[in-house]
């Protein structure tokens, strides 16, 4: 059951004077909602023709030419070990700049910009496989719904492309 974030998570779910407020871009992969810091997002675009790159890691779909720049495109579903799906009209590429690297990653849909109080964020839970703490900054709680906050620098570090 896919839920629309805008119906579940209101923009102002906390008091304005409650401390530090983070602005995050939220997106969906399957039924799960993820968010990243808005400051790393350069743009959000529709799915483009992707040129495959031989011998690339399994989660790299290939590269695209975006206004004269060749950027790698990551399939986030594959990177997270989720089942693949066919692109839809809502499928997007989120273009980000992290650690002096510009790349894009494919998501099922982009939802909205969330404003989360730091008080609503908990550390990522420990997992037996060691996965969550490697790429999650924390878990945001908003109206009983959980939003997984991604650490893109860890998720897309140079060692992950090795």
Which residue in the block uniquely carries the two structure tokens 């692109």?
A: 87
Q: Which helix (H) or strand (E) holds 134?
A: helix 132-135
pLDDT score at 9: 45
pLDDT score at 37: 92
pLDDT over 90 percentage in the chain? 44
pLDDT score at 12: 45
CB of 146 closer than 8 Å to CB of 131: no
pLDDT score at 7: 40
Residue-wise pLDDT for 32-50, tens only, equals 899 999 999 999 999 999 9
CB of 136 closer than 8 Å to CB of 149: yes
pLDDT score at 134: 64
Answer yes or no: is pLDDT of 126 > 90: no
Residue-wise pLDDT for 65-114, tens only, equals 999 999 999 999 988 888 888 999 999 999 999 988 899 999 999 988 98
pLDDT score at 73: 96
Q: Which contacts (CB < 8 Å, 24+ apart) does range 138-143 have?
A: 140/24, 140/35, 140/114, 140/116, 142/8, 142/9, 142/10, 142/13, 142/114, 142/116, 143/8, 143/9, 143/10, 143/13
pLDDT higher for 24 or 20? 24
Model confidence band, residue 132 (pLDDT cutoffs 50, 70, 90): very low
């Amino acid at each position: 059951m896919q839920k629309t974030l805008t119906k579940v998570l209101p923009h102002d779910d906390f008091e304005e004077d409650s401390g530090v407020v983070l602005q995050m871009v939220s997106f969906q992969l399957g039924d799960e909602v993820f968010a990243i810091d808005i400051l790393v997002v350069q743009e959000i675009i529709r799915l483009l023709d992707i040129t495959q790159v031989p011998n690339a890691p399994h989660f790299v779909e290939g590269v695209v030419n975006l206004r004269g720049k060749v950027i790698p495109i990551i399939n986030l579903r594959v990177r997270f070990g989720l089942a693949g799906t066919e692109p839809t009209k809502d499928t997007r590429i989120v273009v980000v700049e992290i650690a002096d690297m510009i790349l894009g990653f494919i998501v099922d849909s982009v939802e909205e910009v969330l404003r989360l109080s730091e008080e609503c964020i908990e550390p990522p839970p420990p997992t037996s496989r060691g996965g969550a703490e490697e790429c999650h900054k924390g878990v945001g709680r908003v109206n009983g719904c959980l939003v997984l906050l991604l650490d893109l620098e860890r998720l897309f570090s140079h060692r992950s492309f090795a």
